[in-house]
Amino acid sequence: MKNCIFCKIVAGEIPSVKIYEDELVLAFLDIAPINYGHILVIPKEHHTSSATIPENISGRMMTIGARLGVAAKRSLDLEGFNLHLADGACAGQVVPHAHLHVIPRGVEDGFHWGWRQKKYENDAQRDGIAEKIKAKFKLAPTE
Ligand code: AMP
Ligand code: ZN
């Protein structure tokens, strides 16, 4: 897609430090890492949302992300990794070409996600939310 920074990286019009590439996905170093070795895995074809990516490609993103997480952890002498994907600006998505973050993590890296954890008001409210989500669920690529 024109004017998409990650499509330009795929096309080689913008430089990147490539870590892995195949016919479906590209993985390269994030320019502003949470920890050193922070990688982005992207579909080569343009998708703004993770939900429109065909299953073979999103499956490959997940597989490569996890394998790269292990490679980063082992090579950088760390203990774990996070896989993170932001879908939508309100969720923190800045670049509108879907991407999976692979973030190497160490016991003492000083980074915290800052989860906020709510409680459901009651069982009926909880179950109503579950039913609403199930009613809208589609297995096919969807917006
Ligand atoms: P998100 O907030 O999930 O959309 O993440 C976008 C990520 O893309 C950020 O972590 C940026 O540091 C990263 N990023 C933006 N431009 C580039 C670039 N040219 N090369 C590598 N990473 C980039
Ligand atoms: Zn794109």
Strands 25-29 and 100-105: unpaired
* Banded model confidence at residue 143, pLDDT cuts 50, 70, 90: confident
- Which amino acids bring their CB within 6 angstroms of ligand 1? 5, 14, 16, 30-32, 40, 86, 92-95
Q: Is pLDDT at 142 greater than 90 in this prediction?
A: no
96 CA to centre of ligand 2 in angstroms: 7
* Banded model confidence at residue 13, pLDDT cuts 50, 70, 90: very high
Please give the Cα distance from 10 to 5 (Å, whole number): 9
Domain ranges of the chain: 5-116
Q: Which atom of ligand 1 is nearest to the CA of 5?
A: 19
Among candidates 85, 87, 83, which has minimal Cα distance to 64? 83
pLDDT value of position 109: 95
E strands, the chain, are 18-21, 25-29, 39-43, 80-84, 100-105
Q: Is pLDDT at 95 greater than 90 in this prediction?
A: yes
pLDDT, tens digit, 9 for 90 and up, residues 23-45: 999 999 999 999 999 999 999 99
State the CATH architecture for 5-116. 2-Layer Sandwich (3.30)
Burial class (CB in 10 A: 0-12, 13-18, 19+), 124: exposed
